[in-house]
Amino acid sequence: MKKNRLLAALLTAAVILGSCGSSDSSSGTSETAPADKEATETTASAEDKPASEENAPTEFIPEAKNTQELILEVDTDPSHRDKRFVETADYAQLKETYKDKFYFGCAVSERVMGNNEYTELTVAQFNSYTAENAMKPDSGLDWKTAAKNPEFYKEHAPVNFNRFKNCLDYAQAHNMKVRGHTLVWHSQTPEEFFHVNYDKTSAFCDKELMLKRMENYIKDVLEWTNANYPGLIYAWDVVNEAIDDGSGMRKQSNWYKVVGEDFVAKAFEYARKYAAPGVKLFYNDYNAYQARKQRDILKVIKPIAEAGNLDGVGMQSHLGLYLNPNDFMKAVKKYHDELGCEIHITELDVGNDKKKVDDWEKKQADFMTRFFTALQKTIDEGVPVTSVTIWGLTDDMSWRQNEGALLFEMDLTKKPAFDAIIEAKK
Ligand code: XIL
């Protein structure tokens, strides 16, 4: 255990050193802008792997190995406790409190997975796990290997599952089900993936080639996860953020540029083809409650739902105090009415520039009371909101770093917003 803790401390230090700052989020009249920033966490390099017959694309299931020490068993001995953290064992549990309503999830970073006290709190509170970054396309797509032998890998980029494996081992060890996030997204996807020869100075691929690469990536991820962790992943964000705020498709997305509007339908078609039965397929977006954006999202995903390829809508929910939770719930109900599908709240955080708001913690807590009260009323009226995920553990780790957006302080002290959610339970 001592060795584990030393390694974990080293890993944490390495990740902290390797990361710099957070989001460019804002709390104006709309939800925060999408992340265009690359993930800052460390990635195992597959650069030196030879492109040989052994890892031919059609058979490529790489040998996954741990790239970091994971806390797979929590050390609860009080004398081992890192004194920088407060004791959290006596906190009420979100997952227990809401177990008759929905999964209660958290976005988990690699920093959390290497730390005993973060892990203790995470697994006590949450029964659903989303990898904050480590299961995004740039975590797996091994374009560097592909670029060394571009003819061989032309239609099928190899995937390195090391970081995926860490996430899934951790979730499984701690009895958390997993929301897969995400397969097809304009952000945190290597630019090289979209270009001829995996060379970003070359032209974009043509549509036909890009769709082959998309299909093969989706196939590899869904088949590998199902073969190695059957039943662990209950939902996938198949497509993330394809729609702009109020002007239809996100035109600057490489997916849109290379494939055109039907990349969304194609992604769902492939996901349905390769997903194990029972794995739910979601479209996920921010500002998904706003009327114009909802109209544009529905226009794109309704035919996909009608074709039987969509099971749910993920509403990211990076919110601020400007929002009326009742308006939000009207949008939740509309998705269900129009599509007959489930809804997940996938990335909830409620932030503000703390310097500009007096009594921020109380205001955040009051918001949570109203939000979770309205949410339960909506569920009781028959709308299936089956999963709620908070986007991170402590305020200092949030992508909205200076906005006090999460439920726990840096030292793991619970904030009034945490108590408000517990107390809002009927
Ligand atoms: C964010 C992570 O929290 C950051 O650590 C990373 O640097 C950028 O991405 N919408 C999404 C999430 O779907 O994947 C984003 O996560 C936040 C916005």
pLDDT band for position 354 (cuts 50, 70, 90)? confident
Selection from 322, 326, 300, 325 nearest residue 313 by Cα: 300
Mutate to test the pocket of ligand 1, among 112, 138, 346, 391 (most ligand atoms within 8 A of CB): 391
Mutate to test the pocket of ligand 1, among 108, 182, 187, 245 (most ligand atoms within 8 A of CB): 187
Query: In whole angstroms, how far apart are CA 42 and each of 64, 102, 144?
Result: 16, 32, 16
Q: What mean pLDDT comes out for the span 188-215?
A: 98
Pseudo-torsion of CA 144, 149, 151, 153, nearest 10°? Answer: -50
347 is catalytic: yes
Q: Where are the domains of the chain?
A: 92-425
Query: In whole angstroms, how far apart are CA 295 and each of 26, 288, 304, 323, 328?
Result: 23, 9, 15, 18, 14
CA 167 – CA 164 distance, rounded (Å): 5
Q: Ligand 1 in contact with 399 (CB < 6 A)?
A: yes
DSSP states of 352-411: --GGGSTTHHHHHHHHHHHHHHHHHHHHHTT--EEEEEES-SBGGGSSSGGGT-SSB-TT
Query: In whole angstroms, how far apart are CA 283 and each of 142, 231, 241, 418?
Result: 25, 20, 8, 28
Residue nearest to atom 9 of ligand 1 (CA): 35
What is the CATH code of the structural domain delimited by 92-425? 3.20.20.80
pLDDT band for position 353 (cuts 50, 70, 90)? confident
Q: Helices 416-423 and 360-380, interaxial angle, to 10°?
A: 20
Residues 6+ apart with CB under 8 A from 41: 15, 18, 19, 109, 110, 111, 133, 134
Q: Which two tokens stand for residue 217?
A: 């990536």
Residue 16 has pLDDT above 80, yes or no: no
Q: What mean pLDDT comes out for the span 389-398?
A: 97
- Say if pTM beats, i.e. exceeds, 0.85: yes
Residue nearest to atom 15 of ligand 1 (CA): 35
Mean pLDDT of the chain: 88
Contacts 24+ apart (CB under 8 A), 140-143: 140/164, 140/217, 140/221, 141/189, 141/190, 141/193, 141/217, 142/46, 142/49, 143/190, 143/192, 143/193, 143/198
Q: pLDDT at position 10, please?
A: 41
**Which one from 241, 342, 409, 423 is the annotated catalytic residue?**
241
